[in-house]
Structure 1
């Protein structure tokens, strides 16, 4: 049995991946759920310029009326919300590192990544939509982890409340720079308010969707079981490996897999990551063998087996053997029955179609994958395949454009050299 997405019509055997996507409760695939949320955000974004025009018009025509200033200060509250979010997540990161936890990455907002930096040995991702975020941390040593988890969860609200408290001092002293500017624009007060709101709101213990607030995490911290803490040590190496894979540090990822295997030698999640690291390191035979081993573990979830199957398919295509290309088709078919919305699955499927000279079917898949993928390395692969498709269609201008896009996304991607060969 399979479930069909009510929006795009894609079918999958992975029923649990679907969510109610409209007011009628019809099932939507993960890709359509993200697009729907993006459309909701796009609709909300129009509120800001409209409200800005209304507030400025109100102030211009009737500066004595407080309505325009009230709207403008409300908009300012949302603008300063991003700065408060940075302070909040930095509070988590600083507290976690001070307590000896491994803080791997911090995400600010959601949606497409527009900037990514590494500071304090932490990866900071800035998203297009400045609402919500998280700091991911894991234990290095087990003692006192419950206390450390409690304090790290408290670190975000504490940072906001400290900033709000410090900002209240000049107000109480009547400092000139805290007074309204350009009429009744309360910059200082609004920034204080966003920090106060962020600090207090996140202390309320509740769960929104699958995301618990800091207050809920603090309530849960004393009740974390010993076996959960031990499992977190293994998860640490899985997460470290994921970050290395995203950054293209494949040798480092392989070392992290070996560290994790000291704790759990037969962990299939580590084996799956090792296969992906070997694939990135261009050790395709080893990647294929490792991924096949994971695929054959029938007790694994459908999604985990599908992702390993996808690695097998890509390794086979890179090995450039006709028999293995046929096997790649079998694995790609399996993947597309389980996770047809996944950008990596679409990329491998497109690679197979290009190999079979079915270029016109491959190009829409790659464009769809590009819309959903924000990481530079997989985007470089997609552009390389689009360049290869353009070469097969004898479209030299598109070939050069896509090759330039690939270099811009990830200059050292191994596929660039392969795609350049047809032109030489």
Structure 2
């Protein structure tokens, strides 16, 4: 029995068509209301919705520009939520565009740790600041007084709607809160002065960590090893980069070498909670890749200790769910994987969750949920070792992994 009252699961084709039909119906009613009787000022709200997407682009570009100005890197910009439409690169930044341009984020990382707290706050402020700057420029272009009056002028209504979309985006992002475990801009500005060096040491490793995960995702083990070695050579004292080598060794099946490297790193790594959590998580991943019964027996304790040390991040929960699956504890595995799936916006981690949720729901005999996750998995793709595991599990029950 699945105890989650609202599990995250992919939509079925019927649900997609139902959602599309309802959306078209609501859109038709909305258009009818605007047109009967028609007044120019009735266009204000439709234009507000129309300008939300450009306001989002201004917001994320503001973060990226602020990061560049303070000397940080921006490795990824995601615009929107939902299915990915396309991606492209601008310099070293990968830009991902998704179906619904309602929200987004950037991944800024420091090159060095100097003045990192102040720079972090400035990067967080860059998004709302850019929106308010553009909104203010629109108001000044029309004149401060004339801009704030009702009018039937189409250009003025368009500019007012654009400025309102920009202002709403800025203000809502400045109200401190967290979303999927991540601080929004307002919360980030408040938290930045209290962040310690370990946090920025971790952030510095994020670009290389991402590149290694992408290489492992497509099964390019030589590229993963080369990326990890190059990053560690540039920052030999960064324990998170040293852990990338352990990650690659475990993925290539060199379990003994991975364990030896992890033990050596444990002796030299700084004793802070974030590093300790990553060390424990790396130990759990070694066991997961090895499928060694003796290591798997201790791996669950390791990942639970990682969660205790570093908090219940989506990555740790996803690994915990995978280990619970390996131990045959399917209900607990489903719950942990759902927490991870709900708590992440990272496409690679989502792939991991979808793959294991397909396995878990198959083991639980929930054919409808399994079909949803398997269908989503065939659309997304996944790690090579998970593809093999899915094929083996499907062969054991006489099914098709797709």
- TM-score range relative to shorter protein: 0.5 to 0.7
Q: TM-score scaled by structure 1? A: 0.59
Residues 1:254 and 2:225 are matched in the alignment: no
Check if 1:117 corresponds to 2:120: no
Report the counterpart of residue 359 of structure 1 in structure 2: 330
The question of whether the paired residues in 1 share the 8 Å contact of 2:65 and 2:126 is answered with: no
Which residue pairs with 2:53 in the alignment? 82
Equivalent position of 2:399 in the other structure: none
For residues 300 and 131 of structure 2, the distance between their equivalents in structure 1, rounded to whole angstroms, comes to 53
Offset of 1:392 from its aligned partner?
4.6
What is the DSSP-based 3-state SS (H/G/I as helix, E as strand, rest coil) of the residue aligned with 2:337?
helix
Write the deviation string for residues 83-126 of structure 1: whole angstroms up to 9, x where unpaired. Answer: 123134335546766997633233557x7785673321312355
Q: Secondary structure at the match of 1:186?
A: helix
- Secondary structure of 2:328's counterpart equals coil
Taking the TM superposition and a 5 Å limit, the aligned residue runs for 1:21-420 are 69=42, 73-74=44-45, 76-77=47-48, 79-90=50-61, 93=64, 102-108=73-79, 117-120=87-90, 121-125=92-96, 130=102, 133=105, 136=108, 138-139=110-111, 161=133, 179-180=153-154, 186-191=157-162, 194=165, 237-248=204-215, 250-262=224-236, 264=237, 267-293=238-264, 299-301=271-273, 303-335=274-306, 337-338=308-309, 341-389=312-360, 392=363, 402-420=373-391
Q: Is the 8 A contact 2:78 2:97 kept in 1?
A: yes
Q: Which residues of structure 1 form unaligned runs of 5+?
A: 1-7, 9-34, 36-48, 173-177
Shift of 1:291: 4.1
Residues 295 and 116 of structure 1, relative CA distance in 2, 3 Å threshold: farther
Distance in 2 separating the partners of 1:139 and 1:338: 26
Structure 1 residue 416, shift from structure 2 partner: 0.8
Shift in CA distance, 239/321, structure 1 to aligned 2, threshold 3 Å: closer
Contact 2:334 2:360 in 1 (8 A): yes
Displacement after TM superposition at 1:190 (Å) = 2.5
C-alpha distance after superposition, 1:186-229 (max 9, x if no partner): 22442256558879x89x9x98886667xx89xx9xx9xxx98x
SS of equivalent residue, structure 2 residue 333: helix
Contact 1:278 / 1:284 at 8 angstroms: preserved in 2?
Answer: yes
Deviation of residue 380 (structure 1)?
A: 2.8
CA RMSD of aligned residues (A): 5.7
**Cα distance change, pair 155–419 in 1 and its aligned pair in 2 (3 A):** closer
- The alpha carbon displacement at 1:347 in A equals 2.9
Could you say if the C-alpha distance between residues 294 and 170 of structure 1 is closer, same or farther in structure 2, counting changes exceeding 3 Å?
same
Give the number of aligned pairs.
Answer: 356
Contact kept? 2:262, 2:279, Cα under 8 Å = yes
Question: How far apart in 1 are the matches of 2:126 and 2:313?
Answer: 35
2:14 corresponds in structure 1 to none
Higher relative contact order (CA closer than 8 Å, sequence separation 6+): 2
For the structure 1 residues 256 and 354, does the alpha-carbon distance in structure 2 shift closer, same or farther, using more than 3 Å as the test?
Answer: same
- CA 57–124 in structure 1, closer or farther in 2 if over 3 Å, else same: same
